[in-house]
Structure 1
Amino acid sequence: MDNEIIIESELEEDTAVWETLLRRVIPAALAAEGVGVPCEVDVLLTNDEGIRRINLEQRDVDRATDVLSFPMFEYAPGRPPEDAADADPETGLIPLGDMVISLERARAQGEEYGHGTEREVAYLAVHSVLHLLGYDHMDDGPEKARMREREEAILGALGISRRQM
């Protein structure tokens, strides 16, 4: 599948290792969810201040977080786009939306949870892809459980475990 993963960074550090990881994880998550049409996902790598600013501007929430997802379309969980009806006529790609990841927060959480930054960045990317595809976890009910199950299945298929690093 010819998905396009567009990655930008607001950070001064070299993000090549994270870009490589995201270019592996995001398409794998799309494939695992049965997305059979070419898609575009835009990713912004930032720090806690950058994601706090975006969270305030876009959601009126004045705090940093680990990842933000801004879907372009509303899909039902488990029912991804199947045809190119939503595709951009110029590119032929379906623009699924944007994700913003705070590498600062990912590093802290990877250390806190004991599985390292690589696993945390991969988890946040998969989590965001699922949001772009309509999954939600706003309550502690079955939708949250379904989302967590899909996250673990996708990461497991990639060989990215909680014990990594």
Structure 2
Amino acid sequence: MKSHKLYIRRARPGLGKALDVRLLRYCVRKALGAEGVDRPCEVSVLITDDAGIREINREFRDKDAPTDVLSFPMQMLSPGDFKPGLTEVDPETGLLPLGDIVLSADRIADQAARFGHSADREMAYLVVHSVLHLLGYDHMDEGPDKRLMRAREKAILREAGLPE
């Protein structure tokens, strides 16, 4: 069986170079495994800065502000129920394209300092959070969807050896 393919790029050379890309890969794979994703998938990750994520946020979400992470799912999935149809697989690669993740290295550093943990720990949380969005989870209100997503984030991070 093919494994998951992760495409990680930086908006410019050296951006977010302090971030552990191996940890990023590990967290994506941990989240996919914890959610029962047994089909080889592809995920694209862009590491940018506040200006870059602000531009993307403005273009795609009509929000003229930087944010920590953006998720752009390519499949219509239900939380906790990974059952995509066979038609979504890319015939050229044999992989299921799950979507794109955009991370702001600036926000990661700022939030890590504010929350009192490492930038890698902050990045790990944001990556798991974003993968869950790619898999259909949402948290737009304070109801059961948000509680379910937060519980899955905590469980996956604990399983990855990165508890709160």
Whole-angstrom distance in 2 between the partners of 1:72 and 1:42: 11
Aligned to 1:68: 70
Q: 1:81 to 1:6 in 2, by over 3 A?
A: farther
2:128 corresponding residue in structure 1? 126
Runs of 4+ residues deviating >4 angstroms:
none
**Gaps (5+ residues) in structure 1?**
none
Distance 1:83 1:2, change over 3 A: farther
Q: Which amino acid aligns with 2:9?
A: E
Aligned to 2:28: 26
Compute the displacement of 1:85 (Å).
Answer: 3.1
User: Does residue 89 in structure 1 map to residue 91 in structure 2?
Assistant: yes
> What secondary structure does 1:134 align onto?
coil
Q: Aligned partners of 1:59, 1:156: CA distance in 2, in Å? A: 31
The one-letter code of the counterpart of 1:73 is Q
Report the secondary structure of 2:45's partner residue.
strand
How many aligned residue pairs are there?
162
Distance in 2, matches of 1:84 and 1:24, equals 26
1:119 Cα shift?
0.8
Taking the TM superposition and a 5 Å limit, the aligned residue runs for 1:2-151 are 2-13=3-14, 15=17, 17-81=19-83, 84-151=86-153
**Identical aligned residues as a percent:** 52
CA distance in 2, matches of 1:113, 1:16: 18
Q: Distance in 1 between matches of 2:85 and 2:27?
A: 22
1:64, distance to aligned residue in structure 2 (A): 0.2
Look up the equivalent residue of 2:6 and give its one-letter code: I
Distance 1:83 1:31, change over 3 A: farther
TM-score, scaled relative to structure 2: 0.94
Unaligned regions of 5+ residues in structure 2, if any?
Answer: none
Task: Tell me, in whole angstroms, the C-alpha distance in 2 between the residues paired with 1:61 and 1:82.
Answer: 30
